[in-house]
Amino acid sequence: MTENPDPALLHAATALAARLGTDDNHSVAAAARDAKGRVVTGVNVHHFTGGPCAELVVLGAAVAEGAAPLVRIVAVGDRGRGVLPPCGRCRQTLLDLWPEIEVLVPGAGGGVRAVPVRELLPHTYVWAEHQEP
């Protein structure tokens, strides 16, 4: 676990979240860093049918942009809500697709900490074709 890691990644997500305004359809921004240092960003797409979370949008954008393997990701809420931990669906998706990724989550005293996604989803379902047991 790393305390206050990757301020540039956090800034990318925070700056994007600040630009979202008051549009309830887009209220969370995410940023991911790949193994080569590249940062990819995205926002959630809320819809009454569900819609993808910001983290899932970033995963798709990373593939579309030819990013290297993702090593770290963070989500930030609009209107100054700060770093948000990923929902269960995002945790499972991150674990299935990027089992070594670190996730930035709220830390003690208003800080941010990086934790391996495996720690966020203990005793998880294992997608046999993508993960080792």
By annotation, the residues acting in catalysis are: 55
Residues 6 or more apart in contact with residue 4 via CB below 8 angstroms? 107, 111, 112, 113
Among residues 118, 59, 121, which one has the least CA distance to residue 87?
Answer: 121
Would you say how long the chain is, in residues? 133
Buried b (16+ CB within 10 A) or exposed e, 26-37: bbbbbbbbbeee
